[in-house]
Amino acid sequence: MNPDPDGTQGELFINDTSINSNSIKNRNLSLTTVVIEKWQAKICRHQAKLFNDSKEIDCKQASLFNLEGNADLERMNPLKLTPLPLSFWRWPTFSHDGPAIYLVMDRPKKSSNHLLLYVGETIAAERRWKGEHDCKSYLSAYSEALNSCGMNCQLSIRFWTDVPRNTKARRKLEQLLIKRWLPPFNKENWSRWATPFTAEI
């Protein structure tokens, strides 16, 4: 499958697909509103059908696993999970603990669709977002780029706790979700979307 059907993906970021907030400053690279909106729209075109196809299924109310322990990922609806601010880990109490799949999302202002930016897994949902995390850096660079263009982002994190306790099984589920949704901040998809917010210095 051609990941860039209109043939313009390689031009979006002037052949530099690996810049974070510091390198944006250092290289004086201007990510314009048009460029960022075009990048978001490409991802939304892929993900919109997945959101729409699963909109009636509430993954909080029933298990998505069959008798063999396999997940019906077509029924997985991120929008039915409770959105939390990225600062949730500073709260004195947290309602989620134990193993989880977590999803970081945005709602672009000019889009009717949400944007699934990152999928991760953890054995301890209550602790995963504390301390250092690569995705925090990506989101910081993303927010900074949007703010510099006068664009707003509505970032949230959602936890799916009906997942295997076994780490190997949970990571397999994570990879299946990454393959299905193609979130741009997961390393597996950087080259596909020419993601500009994800490099290490």
As a residue count, the chain comes to 201
Radius of gyration of the chain (CA): 17
Mean pLDDT across 186-191? 94
Is residue 29 left, alpha or beta, with left meaning phi > 0 and alpha meaning psi from -120 to 50? beta
* DSSP helix/strand/coil, 169: helix
Rounded-to-integer distance, Cα 144 and Cα 150, Å: 10
Rounded-to-integer distance, Cα 156 and Cα 163, Å: 20
pLDDT per residue as tens digits for the range 126-169:
776 676 778 888 999 999 999 999 998 999 999 998 888 999 99
pLDDT per residue as tens digits for the range 99-123:
999 999 999 887 788 999 999 999 9
Both tokens of 81, joined, read: 């999970």
Both tokens of 146, joined, read: 């949007």
Rounded-to-integer distance, Cα 148 and Cα 52, Å: 31
Rounded-to-integer distance, Cα 41 and Cα 145, Å: 16
Mean pLDDT of the chain: 77
